[in-house]
Amino acid sequence: MPAPQYAQMSPRRDEADDAALLQRVAGGDRDALGALYRRHAHVVLAQIRLAVGEPGLSEEILQDTMLAVWQGAGSFRGGSQVRSWIIAIALRQARDRLRRRRLAVVADEHALSGQAAADPGPEAQVLERAELAVVGEAIRSLSPGHREVLGLVFGADLTLAGAAEVLGVPVGTVKSRLAAARAALARAMGGKGVGRS
């Protein structure tokens, strides 16, 4: 299967449009499922990679997730964002798969890397790669729970309420976990000089 082409969405995507697409999916509209896939697959895949650490397995879990979305679209009640609902399904799929395979959970250093600057020079590219390696190493050293909350808030661009919905915990718990994760990341990065002038 060729690599998917993901649509780039603005952080303020149209939730009403997503809900309408999901309603069409519930009615059996394959094109609507394709549109949801193009809108959300890149973020969902990044979250799966954070949990699983294997690109091939992550792609399989993404496909299982979209199948679950196809089969369960009618169960969406609108109490959360469509993206957070899909991510919650994906993380359940990943946990089930990990439980069955008993895999070690590792972070993918590219899952949270963001967008590179346009046309950086060779020096900037070398520095960026070095910083990504240090940040990737620091992220991999974090506990799975810390990686998960950082990935949801910063990687998936979910609100605290959206992350709370995915994790099934109160917003206050997400805030405290996020603070602990940021502190752990700062400690892991300690003195490595990334982002300092």
Residue 180 pLDDT greater than 70, yes or no? yes
The H or E element that residue 103 is part of is none
> Would the pLDDT of 183 be above 50?
yes
Mean pLDDT, rounded, for 55-66? 92
pLDDT score for 121:
63
Q: Is the pLDDT of residue 118 over 50?
A: yes
- For helices 122-141 and 171-189, the axis angle rounded to 10 degrees is 120
7 assigned to some structural domain:
no
Residue 87 lies in a domain: yes
pLDDT tens-digit profile of 131-144?
A: 767 777 787 788 88
Q: Work out the mean pLDDT of the chain and round it to a whole number.
A: 78
In-domain check, residue 84: yes
Predicted pLDDT at 145:
84
Q: If pLDDT is split at 50, 70 and 90, which confidence band does 13 have? A: very low
Per the domain annotation, does 194 fall within a domain?
Answer: no
Query: How many CA atoms lie within 13 Å of 46's alpha carbon, on the beta-carbon side?
Result: 22
Residue 141 covered by a domain: yes
Q: Could you tell me if residue 196 is inside a domain?
A: no
Residue 6: phi, psi to the nearest 5? -100, 135
Domain that holds residue 141: 15-189
Task: Please tell me which residue, 178 or 111, carries the higher pLDDT value.
Answer: 178
User: Which residue is it, tokens 């729970």?
Assistant: 145
Angle between helices 30-52 and 55-72 (to 10 degrees): 140
Is 1 part of any domain?
Answer: no
Flag whether 2 is in a domain: no
How many domains does the structure of the chain reveal?
1
User: Residue 79: what pLDDT?
Assistant: 80
CA angle 98, 102, 105 (to 5 degrees): 65
The answer to pTM > 0.95 is no
What CATH number is given to the structural domain containing 124?
1.10.1740.10
Give tens-digit pLDDT for 15-43.
778 889 999 999 999 999 999 999 999 99
Measured between alpha carbons, how far is 106 from 143 in angstroms, rounded to an integer?
9
Retrieve residue 15's tokens: 């939730």
How large is the average pLDDT for residues 73-83?
86
Query: Distance of CA 22 to CAs 13, 14, 32, 86, 157, Å?
Result: 14, 13, 7, 10, 20
